Structure 1
Amino acid sequence: MALHLWLTFSLAYLITSLTPGPNVLLTVRNALRYGPSGMGMTLLGNLSAQLLLISGVAMGVGALLISLPAAFLALKLVGAGYLIYLGLRQLLSRDKPKLPAGEITPVAPRAKWRIGVEAFLVSASNPKTLVFFCAFLPQFLEPGRPIFGQFAAMFISIAAIVGLVHSFYCFTAYRFGQRLKASRLAAWFKRATGALFIGLGVRLLSTKAV
């Protein structure tokens, strides 16, 4: 992948990544709740799903899936339903005993894997990501160069950009969260997060393949 093409790709993807979506929201929520380990497992699940989607695009599976209305509709319903489920769970869950400001909830080894699987499902079941990759990635392919090598370079770049952007959002939310935990706004923040997940799920239902 030529340097100028890689720089253009990286800048374009960085710009598109700055708008928060369900993946960013989930990463921030888990970072505030579980600390660095929660953030790391969320990123691992998210990037694993993106690797699967990019591999599908490279093999033509993504375009095939989008061309099948029934398959695309099923994926859209699964993704929207899961986001709405996360939102309802956030809204309806009982408040746990409050921790002193600055402390986080300890994470058991099994819970870490559940966090990763949850992040994987959120990312992999979102057809908007698939549509975006199918439209965006081929624009930066160079004829005459190995296809999978170029897709590998793009995924590595995507992983680095996602890590940086999500870390920025998590750091910002953490600094704000230190004041939030010690105030009555904590309950409001929890409800707002749940409502955002539900809103993202409802919005996903209007996604079209083309």
Structure 2
Amino acid sequence: MSLELWLMFCAAYLLTTLAPGPNVLLVLKNSLQYGWKSAMVTILGNLSCQLIVVGLVAVGVGELISRLPAWFMVMKLLGGGYLIYLGVKSLLSGAKRTPTQLSVSGTPVRPRHLFLQAFMVSASNPKTLIFLSAFLPQFLDITHPHLEQFSAMYLSICAIVTSVHLGYALMVSRLGQSALFSGLEAKMAKITGGLFITMGGGVLLSSRS
């Protein structure tokens, strides 16, 4: 991959990462509820799923899934259903919090739970695999080995996602600690809950095209 292609890829992927999606919402919610350091485990879960997705793209599975409506439907139902489940859970947790609880941040939580949750959210939309199957090959240089280029793109994805998501985590964590934003955790739980449900519905209603 030439330097020009790599820079174009990084710029394009940065734009998609900056846009708020399920993974960003999860980072924001967890950072407020468990402290900004929880974002590292959340990011690791996301990137672990992305590693599998990029690997599947490299061997052409994304294109295959786009041609198999039954598999796409199963992935869509599971992914959309999981996002809706997270949304309902987040709404209920926000409604149950008391004013005393709202001032407490850094609540203990199992890292394994955060990792699996982030992994599942990242895997929830089957269109991600189809999108990356169309997106990543545009930046391949046919004169160089594809494995090396997919590896370079994945490492770039890791750097971009980690930087952006940690930035979001630090920002929202500091806002949550400010007296001006008391009660932000409960409000964020309700907002992210509603958005997760909306995104889950979008996944369920999505088509392969």
Is TM more than 0.5 here?
Answer: yes
Look up the equivalent residue of 1:205 and give its one-letter code.
L
- Output the amino acid matched with 2:107: T
| Aligned 8 A contact 1:37 1:112 in 2 | no
User: For the aligned residues, what is the CA RMSD?
Assistant: 2.0
Number of residues of Structure 1 aligned to a counterpart in Structure 2:
207
Residue identity opposite 1:38 in structure 2: S
Q: Which amino acid aligns with 2:135?
A: F
TM-score by length of 1: 0.91
Query: Residues 83-162 of structure 1: matches in 2 within 5 Å?
Result: 83-93=83-93, 94-95=96-97, 98-99=100-101, 101=103, 103-107=105-109, 111-162=110-161
**Aligned partner letter, 1:87:** G
Deviation of the 1:193 alpha carbon: 1.7
- Where do residues 26-41 of structure 1 align in structure 2 (5 Å cutoff)? 26-41=26-41
Per the alignment, residue 206 of structure 1 pairs with: 205
Mean alpha-carbon deviation: is it higher for 150-159 or for 24-33? 24-33
Q: Is the 1:101–1:182 contact (alpha carbons within 8 Å) kept by the matching residues of 2?
A: no
Per-residue CA shift, 1:20-68, capped at 9, x if unaligned?
1000100111122122441111101100000000000000111111110
Residue equivalent to 2:15: 15
Residue 188 of structure 1 aligns with which residue? 187
Identity score, percent = 49
Q: Does the 8 Å CA contact 1:50/1:123 hold for their aligned counterparts? A: yes
Output the amino acid matched with 2:15: I
User: Per-residue CA shift, 1:142-161, capped at 9, x if unaligned?
Assistant: 11211111000000001100
- Contact residue 23 and residue 46 of structure 1 kept, 8 A: yes
Task: Give the equivalent residue in structure 2 for 1:52.
Answer: 52
Judging changes above 3 Å, is the alpha-carbon distance between structure 1 residues 190 and 181 closer, same or farther for their aligned structure 2 residues? farther
Residue 85 of structure 1 and its aligned partner are, at CA, apart by 0.1
Number of the residue aligned with 1:68 = 68
Matched-pair contact (CA < 8 Å) for 1:26–1:119: yes
